[in-house]
Structure formats: C-alpha cells, structure tokens
Structure 1
C-alpha cells in the first residue's frame, strides 16, 4: 500500500465523540516506551505526524488520523508506566477499554511489543484481555534494529509460546524497526487486505451508552485537542 495522504483528525477521551465509523479503523497500542509513535510515523512516511517524546507515557488521548482518505489509524495511550496519578491512570484505562469494546468499525488492534525483552506480564495480560473479549489483534515487535535478528527471534518465539497456553491460534506477528522502516510494508499490506473485506456497520442501529459515566468529567479533566501536539512516546 502506498501512503499518499496522512492527516491528524482529532483527539479526545469520548468514544461517543469519535469520527463517524464509516471507514475501517486500526488501533495501535503498547506498553509505554515501546516506540509506538515512531513506528506510526515510519509507516506513513510522515515524520512528526504522531508526536514523539523522550518521556514515556505522554500519549493520553485517543488520537485519530485518516490515511489516504480511506481508513483511520488510531494512536492509543500506552499502558503501564506513566508519570501521573493513580486516578488518572485508571481513567485512561477505562476509556481505552470502552473504545476497544464499543468501536464497531475497529478491524484490528496492533499490539506493540519491545523485541529486546523476554515476555512481560503486562503485555501478556493485555493480550489475554483482548482474547477473552474476542477482539481481533496482531502483534508488532518493535526496535529490531537495536539487537541481532537471532535475539529478536528468540524473544518472539518465547512470547508466542506463552500465548499458546491460552490461545488455540497465535495472532499474526510482525518484526519491525522504525529506524530502518523494516516491517512497515508488511503491516500496510495486511491493512490493505482487510480493507477490501470491510463492511460498514449499521450506524443507525441503537448502541450501548459509551459516553462518560457520572463523575468521569472530574477524572479526565478538560480535554484540549491541541494537547496532542505536545504528546507522544519515545522515538
């Protein structure tokens, strides 16, 4: 797939305020400091589209981009470490779960894993959570340029083995590097293939309430869309 156009659309924490779900959508999420924003920029060939930072856990909103006027790419907050209060972390987790379970046009969740490390409990637990809810996901192992291919393959194999204890079928895996842009074409090819089978959901059908619950406003605080321009993750 050739990326001809990539634009930022909006940022928020309200699932009921997201762009209308007429296009296929793909979410990217991972542990803080996994290099998610850098990989997104490498994929679309537009440096600075997803803002990066040396401080992990800076992405704090659901960030929507439209690609080729044909599909949505969503940059989600990282799970795990973040320099914020416990109540804020719980609020982020709450709206992320709400997004993942209520977004009807969401076609696949790309879970980013740092290929330099052996399987981490927090990554495995998130995959189990997705599997229990029947949410489609694939694994994207990042930072392959930081070590030998042999080491990356060993860690990927260990992760797949850990998942095999819970899953009958292991999700598709990609080994990537934002630095040299390896693996990006394979992800885009997969997205392009899924796009050909996309059927727009019935947007007129009644849906569950997915807005704020009482008291959530105090947890989230005021959401300024321009805050995204100063958010991101490690490059």
Structure 2
C-alpha cells in the first residue's frame, strides 16, 4: 500500500465523543513511552503527524488520522507510568476501554511492547483483557534498533513463552523500528489485507455509432 494522504481528522475524550465514521479503524496502544507516536509518524510517513515527546503520557486523547481516505489510524492514550495521578490514569484506562469495546468499526488493535524490556505483567494483563473481550489484536515489538539483535530475539522468545503460558493468541507479531522503518511494509500490507477493497470503476458500455453510417 502506498500512502498518498494522511491527515488528522479529530480527537475524542471517550467513545461518545468519537467522530462518526464508517471507515475501518486500526488502533495503536501501549504503555507510556513505548514509542507509539513515533511509530504512527513512521507508518504514515508524515513527520509530526502525531506529537512525540520524551515525557511519558504525552498522548491524552483518542486521536484519529485518515489514511488515503480509505481507513483510519487511531492513536490511543498510553497506560502505565504516565506522570499523572492514579485517579487520572484510571480515567484514561476507562476512556480507552470504552472505545475498544464499543467502537463498531474498530477492526484491529496493535498492542505495542518495548523490545528493550522483558515482557511486563501490565502488558500481558492488557493483552489478556483484549482476548477476553474478543477484540482482534496483534503485537508490535518497538525500538528494535536500540538493542542488539540477540537481546531483541531473547525478549521475543520470552514473550512467546509468556503468551503460550497465558493462552494468548495474537493474529500477528511484528518487529518494528521508527528510526530505521523496519517492519513498516509488513504492518501497512497487513492493514491493507484487512481493509475492504476499493470498488473498481466499471467500464462504460461502448457507444454504438452504426446509425451514423445510415
């Protein structure tokens, strides 16, 4: 898939505030500071489309980006160690869960995990919740350029073991780097495979000019 247009179309506090849309939506979510906004910009190939920051918890709203006027990329608030009160964190989580369980045109959730870290209980608990809610999901290993390949592979092996232990079955597992664009093609092509095909324009019936010869 070649992305020819990517634009911000709005943000929302919760499910009720989401912009109306019939296009398929693909949501990206993960712990704070997992590299989500950088990944969004890399996938769309638009620098600054999603606001990035070194401060965890920068994304506080549900953000919608229209891609090729064919599908919507949704950047969700992170969970985890954002520098806000526990009450505020709980509010974020309620907003996210309301969208994830109530948005009818949501087709897939991409759960982002930091490849520099061993599988964390918070990530596994969130993935387990997705599966219990029967929400289709895949996993993206982020920041693979920041660690040696053997470290990334080791953490991936640990993740696969943890998923098996918990009985978790993601649709796909991607390894990605916003810096090197590793994994971009695989993710975009996978999304394209899940999106409805654009109807082809039917060729018009040829005009019969036989009457001109009469």
Give TM-score scaled by structure 1 length.
Answer: 0.81
Alignment partner of 1:79 is 2:79? yes
Provide closer, same or farther for how the CA distance between residues 178 and 168 of structure 1 changes in structure 2, counting only shifts above 3 A. Answer: closer
Aligned Cα RMSD in Å?
1.4
Q: Where does residue 154 of structure 1 map in the other structure?
A: 154
Runs of 4+ with deviation above 4 angstroms = none
Identify unmatched segments of 5+ residues in structure 1: 199-235
Distance in 1 (CA, whole Å) between partners of 2:169 and 2:83 is 36
Q: Where does residue 123 of structure 2 map in the other structure?
A: 123
Q: Which has the larger radius of gyration?
A: 2
Deviation for aligned residue 1:89: 1.2
Question: 1:6-44 CA deviation, whole Å, 9 max, x = no partner?
Answer: 000111213123122310000000011100100110111
Alignment partner of 1:100 is 2:100? yes
Provide closer, same or farther for how the CA distance between residues 88 and 170 of structure 1 changes in structure 2, counting only shifts above 3 A. Answer: closer
Q: Where does residue 190 of structure 1 map in the other structure?
A: 190
Give TM-score scaled by structure 2 length.
Answer: 0.89
Identify unmatched segments of 5+ residues in structure 2: 199-214
Q: Where does residue 109 of structure 1 map in the other structure?
A: 109
Provide closer, same or farther for how the CA distance between residues 105 and 170 of structure 1 changes in structure 2, counting only shifts above 3 A. Answer: closer
Q: Where does residue 41 of structure 2 map in the other structure?
A: 41
Deviation for aligned residue 1:90: 1.2
Q: How many residues align?
A: 198
Deviation for aligned residue 1:196: 3.0
Contact 1:114 1:142 in 2 (8 A): yes
Deviation for aligned residue 1:147: 1.3
Structure scoring higher RCO (CA < 8 A, sep ≥ 6) equals 1
Contact 1:21 1:104 in 2 (8 A): no
Contact 2:14 2:95 in 1 (8 A): yes
Question: 1:51-101 CA deviation, whole Å, 9 max, x = no partner?
Answer: 001101111100011000010100001110111122211111111110000
Distance in 2 (CA, whole Å) between partners of 1:170 and 1:18 is 26
Q: Where does residue 141 of structure 1 map in the other structure?
A: 141
